[in-house]
Amino acid sequence: MPLDLTITSLHAAYRGGTLTPARLLDSLLEEAERRGPDPAWITRLDRHQLQGYLARLEGHSPESLPLFGIPFAIKDNIDLAGVPTTAGCPAFAYVPEESAFVVQRLIDAGAIPLGKTNLDQFATGLVGERAPEAYGVPGNAFDPERVPGGSSSGSAVVTAAGQVSFALGTDTAGSGRVPACFHNLVGVKPSLGLLSSRGVVPACATLDTISLFALTADDAATLFDIAAVPDPECRWSRAHDFALHGQRYGTPPARFRFGVPKAAQWQTDPDYTRAMREAIGLLESLGGERVEIDATPLLAAARLLYEGPWVAERYHAIRELMEQDPESVHPVTRQITAGGASPLAVEAFEARYQLAEYKRQADALLASVDLMLTPTTVTHPTKAAVAADPIGVNARLGTWTNFMNLLDYSALAVPVGFTGAGLPVGVTLFGRCFDDLRLLSLARAMEAALALPLGAMGLPRPRTKPMAPGSDGYLEVVVCGAHLQGLPLNGQLTQRGGVLVERTATAARYRLYALAGGPPARPALVRDEANGSAVEVEVWRLPQQWIGSFLAGIPSPLGLGQVELANGEWKTGFICAAGGLHGAGQASDITAYGGWRQWLAAVTDERVMSGSELNDAC
């Protein structure tokens, strides 16, 4: 039986004395020896090379090092000190003196690198078939006749096969998500800049990020917490304090809105269509409300990646090799990259302008939901199909991945089940930049509901332990007057990224007043235990970082407090203390109308106000 290599299980074994890091490494090395040559690996460290990493663990334990004794693999376009970095090309290889920033962070936390994994050469591809003969091509861990997915092919294969606990990949156009989908793994594509790219051979430097392959969402969250820190020496590094923005990993919100592309846009085969429908049902069972989205700007942006100047960025990364020794580059990689030698500067600017327009449109779509659900990819091709059409099949696999980094979004590949042939299928959750923990929290809930086996090992998934509710970085605000959808002050919510959650009513313990003054007219919601009624309201979800500026625009005697809803929940909302009405001038009790909209309609129909007063109210 293979070992359960999840971080939680290994640490439990270490604490219980049934296993030590040295014994684990011996077992993994013996198993590797039995397997013999393995094209998933380009370089494997031997026992002598690993001894230094074991020595670093002396005097420590899982309590002092979060990754104590956890074995991992590194895609071979990411530096590990003293070990060749090849990027899948022997003629390009060099030996770095220092490890990549992220690799060093993981080692400092107690993780043990077992070696460097195979990839589509120079991270150019989503199939995992573009490695030179010198290294061979990995087979999929579930079916060797199927592609492993790329470009991080080896990293996905060795994680799913139980050879390591987790692996590093890179992701420019889907290289950390497609192979995760094909191997029943969690594939984290972080927001750009959160994981330093220092020590990574670039594919497209402006779009590259290190990605994470993990067996569980909990493992992925642990790795993310360690690796996602600012690197002062990386030009692309971006800092983000999740706690400061009210976001942490945990149980997702009880209700949320998720966007789904129109079914006609999915382009999925029957297995991946079924995976999407099952994921939609699962998210709805977890409290999600489905919102259909026209994904046209997303798909249009995806086409820019290989039709626009970003191919020139790939050429720039290996320009010297392409000019001096082009035959050393894989034929398909060479064909794709060579197209980047000639674009004009004017074409680059034209593409940037077009991308800016697609992003404007895409951001507007995301503003109406908390996150998006899409296919990770559209099918799982055989090796024979890729050999027959290497560029066409590869392009299809990137249909739903190519746009993510171009549009600066966070994304996460999540397993959802298996086909009748036993192959994994999955979907992608994505959201705005820095929504990473929100996506991971939802993936955790999906994982707990599905209880899929670990990777390709057939081992049961460790039971998910209860966690305190996470924070998704939003505050739900109850509004009852001019901030209602379509009314004059609603822009104060929508301009701050507010999303309508629901239309409901308060508990029958409130009175509603129309305050004098304006424009526009303002409401006052006052709690009245003895003579109150239900008042229609809306609940809006507002990013916490905008709460301060939102409050600054609320005039006296109004403010934010706690409002009881008809279902018994208490939420933050507009209130006015009973005493506040005395200093607010003339106030009309409009409770009998049942809500602000009904009062406005009555005022219009009955003409009880003058025309100017009516304009003020509306």
| CB proximity list for 189: less than 8 A, separation 6 or greater | 171, 176, 177, 209, 211, 404, 405, 410, 411, 412, 413
Alpha-carbon distance of 323 to 330, in angstroms, equals 14
Output the CA torsion sign for 229, 318, 393, 305: positive
SS3 542: strand
Alpha-carbon distance of 551 to 246, in angstroms, equals 17
* Token output for 111: 């993780």
446: how many CB neighbours lie within 10 A of its CB? 21
The verdict on whether omega for the bond into residue 390 sits within 30 degrees of 0, i.e. cis, is no
Closest C-alpha among 181, 240, 242, 241 to residue 211: 181
Residue with tokens 């430097």: 205
Output the CA torsion sign for 365, 368, 371, 376: negative
Question: Where do the DSSP E strands lie in 215-265?
Answer: 247-248, 256-261
Cα–Cα distances in angstroms (integers) from residue 411 to residues 205, 218, 360, 401, 570, in the given order: 18, 16, 19, 9, 32
Which run of H or of E encompasses 50? Answer: helix 47-55
Phi, psi of 390 (to 5 degrees): -65, -35
Cα–Cα distances in angstroms (integers) from residue 134 to residues 19, 131, 148, in the given order: 36, 8, 18
SS3 71: strand
* Token output for 304: 């820019």
The residues that bridge with 474 in the sheet, in sequence order, are 543
* Residue 151 appears among annotated catalytic residues: yes
* Token output for 399: 């249909």
Closest C-alpha among 33, 138, 123 to residue 85: 123
Which residue in the list 9, 75, 191, 383 is annotated as catalytic?
A: 75
* Residue 533 appears among annotated catalytic residues: no
* Residue 75 appears among annotated catalytic residues: yes
Output the CA torsion sign for 209, 215, 216, 222: negative
Contact (Cβ atoms closer than 8 angstroms) between residue 459 and residue 453: yes
Q: How far is CA 568 from the centre of its chain?
A: 33
- Provide the pairing of β-strand 166-171 with 71-75: parallel
- Per-residue DSSP letter, 469: B
Residues, the chain: 618
Which residue in the list 155, 175, 410, 441 is annotated as catalytic?
A: 175
Contact (Cβ atoms closer than 8 angstroms) between residue 441 and residue 243: no
DSSP letter for each residue of 174-213: STTTHHHHTTT-EEEEPPTTSS--TTB--SSTTT-EEEEE
Which residue in the list 151, 153, 237, 441 is annotated as catalytic?
A: 151
Percent helix, percent strand, percent coil in the chain, to nearest 5: 35, 20, 45
* Token output for 421: 């042939």
- Provide the pairing of β-strand 424-431 with 371-375: antiparallel
Which positions are catalytic?
A: 75, 151, 175
